[in-house]
Structure 1
Amino acid sequence: MSAEKIMQAIAVTAELTGTQLSDNAMAVMAEDLLAYPLDKVLIAFERCRRELKGKLTLAAILERIDDGWQSAEEAFNALVSGWENDSISILTTHTAMQAAQSATALFNAGDKYRAGMAFKTAYERMVSEKKAKGMQPDWFVSAGVDKEQLAHVVKEAAMNGHITQDYALTLLPASQERIDIETGNLLTNEQRAAGKDKLGNLINLIAHKCAMS
């Protein structure tokens, strides 16, 4: 069923973008896209129909699949935050760090614009290659000296599934965040507040029933 829907999306999008694709090309394109969640693939096709000014290509589709990879701008801004303040920790990827090798000299020389452009070129090429292979983001935490902020970043990254619990624990000293991760207590503040409200309502209900009995 997924393959059929993808083939239909390819045919419609190709027609709307004036792209001629052979049956074999469409089949290969569909096979490559089966590695991704169907809903995200279909959203990518919708974006292609709205945004593409040229021909439909596999690269254009992959660029629009929300598969967890940061955009070049998001990745660069995260790195800049760490470069400008070594006390803070950032969540980034090994791919972004590799792409940064082409940008650090320019950034250190004070040319942030050209550094960003160099990073964008390298990063988008690397991510495109990894997306084509169905690879997921290779997240890691670049630790700063502020231990409290590090704990917050690590806990949030673990809660969102970006890093594993075992990796998170290697980054944390004894702390409430470490206890939360070890015990699986990764609720957000909003979830905790909702739980407290629910518990309070339950207690009030029980008290009311007791008073009436």
Structure 2
Amino acid sequence: MNDHDKREFMSELNLAFEAARQPLPSPQVLRLFFDRLAPYPLPMVLTAIGRHIDTSEFAPTPASILKHLPKMSDGRPEPDEAWAIAIRSADERETVVWTQEIAEAWAIASPVFDGDEIGARMAFKAAYARIVDRNRGANLPPQWVVSQGFDAQRRIEVVEQAVRAGRLQLTHAQAVVPLLTGESDPVPTVDVEANLARLKAIVARVGRAQARASAEKSARAREDAEHTAELKRETARRVAGYQAEVWA
């Protein structure tokens, strides 16, 4: 949401408080509502408030509305996935695209990896959880970086996969491309320009796919909001009709 959405957001939130027969909270608390829900599109937030009205007898809180919204990922791998990424770096030929948090946790666990893989895994997961919690508390986003191995062909493949997954931006990929003719290739056999063009094409396809997914998600949210609004109007008509009969 943005500042232009505040009026419609406040109107729906006011309706939720009226339905619970509670007054609106202070301006400071209302700002807290908006700040916590701002990462989501307005139609999704309106739908979530409507679902709260339908399922709860109490006035809403930011947490109660967030329960009806999809959990937003910050892009960090879960511990098991992070471990699977980290152990690839044990092979010096392998290029690894990982977060600095994974690299930091691996530096703690790797000294015992050769003799005790289970112990290393436990140490890694504990360190990774601690590092991620620390960085999340400091509002630091994950930073994906490339740890290059000796196998030049694998560098190409791994970088392409990372670009497709949205974990590596083209500028980062470009920094790796000039190094694709590494020491493992005595004769330069890698077409750097062709690989760069291929990476650009991948980035373009990923961008178009993300745009389509975002548009479809917003459309579904608008449909949900319209459906909820229609249900509310129908309920209001029924209540008005019932009251007219009672007081006739």
Instruction: Normalising by structure 1, report the TM-score.
Output: 0.56
Partner of 2:151: 146
State whether residues 155 and 177 of structure 1, in contact with CA within 8 Å, keep that contact through their aligned partners in structure 2. no
> Are positions 1:185 and 2:191 aligned together?
no
Deviation digits for residues 148-201 of structure 1, max 9, x if unmatched? 1211111222233322222211111443322223xx31148xx9xxxxxxxxxx
1:29 Cα shift? 8.1
Partner of 1:196: none
How far apart, CA to CA, are the structure 2 residues paired with 1:119 and 1:31? 37
Partner of 1:205: none
1:129 Cα shift? 2.4
Partner of 2:73: 66
How far apart, CA to CA, are the structure 1 residues paired with 2:175 and 2:139? 28
1:33 Cα shift? 4.4
State whether residues 152 and 177 of structure 1, in contact with CA within 8 Å, keep that contact through their aligned partners in structure 2. no
**Contiguous gaps of at least 5 residues in structure 2:** 14-25, 49-62, 181-190, 210-248
Runs of 4+ in 1 over 3 A off after TM superposition: 1-5, 26-39
Query: How high is the sequence identity, in percent, across the aligned residues?
Result: 23
Relative contact order (alpha carbons < 8 A, sep ≥ 6): 1 or 2 greater? 2
Partner of 1:167: 172
1:132 Cα shift? 3.2
| Partner amino acid, structure 2, of 1:125 | R
How far apart, CA to CA, are the structure 1 residues paired with 2:135 and 2:38? 12
Matches within 5 A, 1:1-213: 33-34=36-37, 36-37=39-40, 65-83=72-90, 85-108=91-114, 110-172=115-177, 173=180, 174-175=191-192, 176-181=194-199, 184-186=200-202, 187=205
Check 1:179–1:71 CA distance in 2 against 1; reply closer, same or farther (3 A cut). Answer: same
Check 1:101–1:82 CA distance in 2 against 1; reply closer, same or farther (3 A cut). Answer: closer
Check 1:76–1:34 CA distance in 2 against 1; reply closer, same or farther (3 A cut). Answer: same
Check 1:116–1:28 CA distance in 2 against 1; reply closer, same or farther (3 A cut). Answer: farther
State the SS of the aligned residue for 1:99. Answer: helix
Partner of 1:12: none
State the SS of the aligned residue for 1:103. Answer: helix
Instruction: Normalising by structure 2, report the TM-score.
Output: 0.49
Check 1:158–1:72 CA distance in 2 against 1; reply closer, same or farther (3 A cut). Answer: same
How far apart, CA to CA, are the structure 2 residues paired with 1:185 and 1:77? 28
1:36 Cα shift? 4.8
| Partner amino acid, structure 1, of 2:196 | R
How far apart, CA to CA, are the structure 2 residues paired with 1:35 and 1:147? 44
The root-mean-square deviation of aligned C-alpha atoms, in Å, is 3.9
How far apart, CA to CA, are the structure 2 residues paired with 1:35 and 1:127? 23
Deviation digits for residues 105-163 of structure 1, max 9, x if unmatched? 1213x111111111111111111222234332110121112211211111222233322
How far apart, CA to CA, are the structure 1 residues paired with 2:123 and 2:34? 32
How far apart, CA to CA, are the structure 2 residues paired with 1:126 and 1:120? 10
Partner of 1:15: none
Check 1:100–1:32 CA distance in 2 against 1; reply closer, same or farther (3 A cut). Answer: farther
